[in-house]
Amino acid sequence: ESRLPGYATHQVGVAGKRGPRGGDCLWINWYEFLPNVWKFPGGLSDPGEDIGATAIREVFEETGVQSEFRSLLCIRQQHNHPGAFGMSDMYLICRLSPLTYDVSVCPHECLRCDWLGVAELAERVDATPITRRVASLLRYGLEQGFSSVDLSREDMPAVYTGLIYQLYHRKLPPGH
Amino acid sequence: ESRLPGYATHQVGVAGKRGPRGGDCLWINWYEFLPNVWKFPGGLSDPGEDIGATAIREVFEETGVQSEFRSLLCIRQQHNHPGAFGMSDMYLICRLSPLTYDVSVCPHECLRCDWLGVAELAERVDATPITRRVASLLRYGLEQGFSSVDLSREDMPAVYTGLIYQLYHRKLPPGH
C-alpha cells in the first residue's frame, strides 16, 4: 500500500538540514515510484497551509525529524506532470533546520532515509538533476553564507481585507 | 462589463520595465476593483502556460506593450484570497524588458496606465505594500545590478518522462 498523493497542485520539498554528526548534511529519502533515485522528503500542501508549514509537516511524517523553516530556495514549474494528472505543477523547495536527528522512516512512503553531505550529494549520479542542483545551492550557501541563496519570508498586510500574506524575495539590506 | 477573472490559482505580475524616456521606469495600471491603487499589470496563467509566457501575454493584453522575460523577482502566498473564491493564491512577480513603449489601455481591464520611475513608485502611498516592495527591489537592482535581486530561469530535463521543466533560483557562479 502506498500513501503517495493522487494529484498535485503544490509540492514542497525540504533541504539544507544540518546533520547529526556535526557536519552540514542533507536529509533525503527514497521513494517507491522512483527506485534507486535519491530525493528530498516533501509532499502536498493541505488547503490553506503555508509553504513552510507543509515542509515541516511532511518531513516529520516521512522521517520523524522535527525542524523549523529558514527560507525558500528554489521553484520548479513543470507542465503535464505525471503526478498531477497531466496538470501543471509548482514545486517549492525550502531550507529547514532540524530540531531532532533520529530517523524513523514511514514504510508506506519511503524505502530508505539517511543524512548525506551536500558536497557528496551534489556529485551523486543516482540523485535527480534538481536534487544535485539544490545540493549545489546549499554547498554554495555553506561556503558563502546562506544569504547568497535564500529567499527570505516576511508577513505583509493585505490591502482592504485585513488578511496577512507571505512574501518571498531576495532580502534587501536595511534602508532599501 | 469587467473581464476580471472569476477565480485564481496562479497570478503573475510584471515589473521592472525600462521606460520610454531613457530612465528606468515601471509599467503599472489601475484596476476597477481597487480604485486609487497603483499596481502591476498581470493576470492568470492559462493551463500549461509558463510563468514568463503568462506575464508577457497579460502585459500585452492589458497595455499593448510587447516585452521579454528576464527573471522571477518575488513570490506571494495568500490564503482565503477574495479573488480566488477563498482558496489559497500563489502570486509570482516577474521582471520583463519592453520591446515597445506605446501604451494602449484595454478599457475592460484597467482605468489608467502609465510609466513611472521605480524610485518614485517605491515611496508612493497610493501603491500597495507589495508594489512598493517590488519597486524597492528594482531600485536596488538598478543600483547594484539585477543579479542582486533576480531568480534566474533554466530549462532542465525531467527524469524518466523526457519532459522539460523550468527551475528558478539564485544564479550560482560558474563552477558551483
- ipTM, 2 dp: 0.80
Cell numbers given for B76 = 506571494
Say what the pLDDT of residue A80 is.
Answer: 62
Cβ distance B176 to A78 less than 8 Å, yes or no, reads no
Say what the pLDDT of residue A41 is.
Answer: 76
Contacts B129 to A, Cβ<8 Å? 156-157, 159
Cβ distance A159 to B34 less than 8 Å, yes or no, reads yes
Look at residues A59, A60, A92 and name the one whose alpha carbon lies nearest to residue A75.
Answer: A92
Q: How far apart, in whole angstroms, are the C-alpha atoms of residue A19 and residue A13?
A: 17
Cell numbers given for A120 = 557528496
Residue A58 near residue A14 (C-beta atoms within 8 A): yes
Q: Which tops the pLDDT comparison, A81 or A156?
A: A156
Nearest Cα of chain B lies from the Cα of A10 at a distance, in angstroms, of 10
Residue type for position B2? S
Flag whether residue A102 sits within 8 Å of chain B, measured between CB atoms: no
Please tell me the pTM assigned to this model: 0.81
Residue B43 near residue B55 (C-beta atoms within 8 A): no
Residue A159 near residue B37 (C-beta atoms within 8 A): yes
Least CB–CB distance from A166: residue in B45, B76, B148: B76
Whether B5 shows a pLDDT value over 50: the answer reads no
Whether A135 shows a pLDDT value over 80: the answer reads yes
Cβ distance A88 to B163 less than 8 Å, yes or no, reads no
Cβ distance B137 to A161 less than 8 Å, yes or no, reads no
pLDDT tens digits, residue range B36-87?
Answer: 666 777 777 776 778 888 888 888 888 888 888 889 999 888 776 555 445 5
pLDDT range class, residue A23, cuts 50, 70, 90: very low
Q: Which tops the pLDDT comparison, B84 or B117?
A: B117
Strands B112-117 and B67-78 turn out to be unpaired
Outline where DSSP puts E strands in A16-163: 25-30, 38-39, 42-44, 67-78, 89-98, 112-117, 152-157
Question: Which residue of A lies nearest to B79 if distances are taken between CA atoms?
Answer: A48
pLDDT tens digits, residue range A107-127?
Answer: 666 667 777 778 888 888 877
Contact partners, residue A16, CB within 8 Å, separation at least 6: A26, A70, A71, A73, A94, A95, A96, A97, A118, A138, A141, A146
Q: In what order do the strands lie in the sheet with B152-157?
A: A42-44, A10-15, A89-98, A67-78, B164-169, B152-157
At B59, give phi and psi (nearest 5°): -60, -45
Flag whether residue B156 sits within 8 Å of chain A, measured between CB atoms: yes
Burial class (CB in 10 A: 0-12, 13-18, 19+), B48: exposed
Cell numbers given for A137 = 545551492
Most confident of A11-15, A101-105, B9-13, B150-154: B150-154
Cβ distance A166 to B87 less than 8 Å, yes or no, reads no
